[in-house]
């Protein structure tokens, strides 16, 4: 069974024994979006991983005490947590590949990275 088939099975299995929504107490088919929240919780509980950005996306990192953009080459999860392989665009035409960035060390906007560099909590 591939990833897509496993995910479809998880979605199909969700709520089979649930007649009423736990949040709004309505029948599942009349629920106003609560089921989506429950489904998200269920999928996360069953191992679905949602990386903060897709492969090929651009993120912002702090590299050599500077905010730099980086291309996401790979996203993976191991016992330590989520990790990225990044191609960091440094000054000039030079770029480097770095495999040491965790999910909490990358930022989806330049502003978030600049705030973190200045010591602000994100």
- Residue of higher predicted confidence among 118 and 81: 118
Q: How confident is the model at residue 7 (pLDDT cuts 50, 70, 90)?
A: confident
Whether the CB-CB separation of 84 and 104 falls below 8 Å is answered with no
Residue-wise pLDDT for 61-115, tens only, equals 998 888 999 999 998 888 778 888 898 877 667 788 888 888 888 999 999 999 9
For the entire predicted model, the pTM comes to 0.66
Return the domain boundaries, the chain: 3-45, 58-117
Q: How confident is the model at residue 122 (pLDDT cuts 50, 70, 90)?
A: very low
Residue-wise pLDDT for 17-66, tens only, equals 566 776 777 776 777 767 777 788 888 888 888 888 889 999 999 988 88
Helix axes 34-45, 3-13, angle to 10 degrees: 130
- Residue of higher predicted confidence among 110 and 119: 110
Whether the CB-CB separation of 105 and 85 falls below 8 Å is answered with no
């Amino acid at each position: 069974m591939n990833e897509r088939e496993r995910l479809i099975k998880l979605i199909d299995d969700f709520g089979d024994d649930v007649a009423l929504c736990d949040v709004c107490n309505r029948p599942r088919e009349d629920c106003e979006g609560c089921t989506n929240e429950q489904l998200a919780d269920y999928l996360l509980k069953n191992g679905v991983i949602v990386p903060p950005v897709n492969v090929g996306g651009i993120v912002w990192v702090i590299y050599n005490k500077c905010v730099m953009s980086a291309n996401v080459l790979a996203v993976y999860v191991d016992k330590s947590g989520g990790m990225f392989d990044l191609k960091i665009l440094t000054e000039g035409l030079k770029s480097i590949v770095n495999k040491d960035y965790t999910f909490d060390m990358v930022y989806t906007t330049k502003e978030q990275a600049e705030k973190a560099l200045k010591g602000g909590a994100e």
